[in-house]
Amino acid sequence: MIDVIYIERDIRDHPRTRQVCARFPAARQISCERYGEVFNPKTQNFRLQKRRPALILARKFDAHVLKAPDGFGIGGTRNYYFSHMLNCLYDCRYCFLQGMYRSGHYVLFVNYEDFEQAIERTLALHDGQETWFFSGYDCDSLAMEPVTQFTRHFLQFFERHPAACLELRTKSTQVRSLLDRDILSNVVIAFSFTPDAVSRALENRVPALDRRIDAISRLQTAGWQVGLRFDPLIHHQDYQRHYDELFRRLFSRLDAGRLHSVSLGSLRLPRQYHKNIVRLYPDETLFAGNLQENCGMYSYPQDLETEMHAYCTGALSAHIPADILHPCGYATGHKGHA
């Protein structure tokens, strides 16, 4: 539910602005010049704003498509990401967004067409060779679909550009816009998971595990390519048993032979983000554990991380073919965990 909508004056009459506002007729509408006036001031509290996040409607002027960090990807060599939104409907305690942004408000960039042009220009740079575009870096790709119509819009675009591959990263069960249309072979819907107990404790507002598995199952039945992302791996007592249980629940319902890709990711937080998050959540057990700083990045100690990766890789190999497993998908760790 959105109670407050900030609207950049410049896009007040944009059709997408009107469409979004029409969904929340009771919301207070507040004009602003640029979204940064609301989103960027220093003295804001992400944690408090997450109680009642406002929606900010804005235009993105540049940097619509960005090169993905090295080591980021699922097999492709040309990897980019784009973010039509900043911030996420969910409130996952390990998420880097809470350390990166001062505000917990959602920013939605309504000028989708400018993103499309930027993707076209990027494709042209590579002479139309297969190029990956990742969505879900700074937000969840599907969670706000009823409001943003993001997927509905962008899938039409990717249908016209078969060399452009799209990964939609999500924890959402909002798959209707996908099920309502023909499948696309250049689109992968990638679902992130942590064990049920971890999800219940750390992934606030995320749909229940079984509902997400059900959504994936329906997508697979319809023929969509689906990926699984165990990112980040969360260390805790009984983690081996909990990950075993997660894999069992997933692969008892899903067709492992038809999965596009599976990847593992590490918990990585840049030093400043970690500092910001600990200041916001001093009561959070996750950050009371033994995270260590290495080259400006907080993560589990190397031996623990190696142990977790090795264990989960081994456990996964009992369920999936080796060639779809990307054991360490994201080397930099600067990745949204949608």
Distances 81 to 70, 73, 169 between C-alpha atoms, Å: 12, 10, 11
Which of these segments, 57-65, 112-120, 232-240, 251-259, binds other proteins (CB under 8 A)?
A: 232-240
Provide the angle, in degrees to the nearest 10, between the axes of the packed helices 239-253 and 302-317. Answer: 30
Q: Which of residues 68-97 bind other proteins (CB under 8 A)?
A: 93
Which of these segments, 36-44, 121-129, 172-180, 243-251, binds other proteins (CB under 8 A)?
A: 36-44
CB 213, min distance to other proteins, A: 20
Which residue shows structure tokens 């507040």?
30
If the CB atoms of residues 148 and 194 are measured against other proteins, the closer one turns out to be 194
User: Tell me, what amino acid is at 82?
Assistant: F
The reply to whether 179 sits near other proteins by the rule CB under 8 A is no
Answer positive or negative: Cα dihedral of 37, 39, 40, 44: positive
CB 269, min distance to other proteins, A: 15
The reply to whether 162 sits near other proteins by the rule CB under 8 A is no
The CB density around residue 26, as the number of other CB atoms within 10 Å, is 7
User: Tell me, what amino acid is at 158?
Assistant: F
The reply to whether 208 sits near other proteins by the rule CB under 8 A is no
Q: Please say whether the beta carbons of 293 and 284 come within 8 A.
A: no
If the CB atoms of residues 289 and 321 are measured against other proteins, the closer one turns out to be 289
The reply to whether 293 sits near other proteins by the rule CB under 8 A is no
Which residue shows structure tokens 């109670």?
3
Write the CB contacts of 294 (distance below 8 Å, at least 6 apart in sequence).
302
Binding-site ranges for other proteins (CB under 8 A): 3-4, 6, 28, 30-33, 37-38, 41, 43-45, 48-49, 51-52, 54, 93, 103, 105, 197-198, 200-202, 204, 235-238, 242, 282-286, 288-290
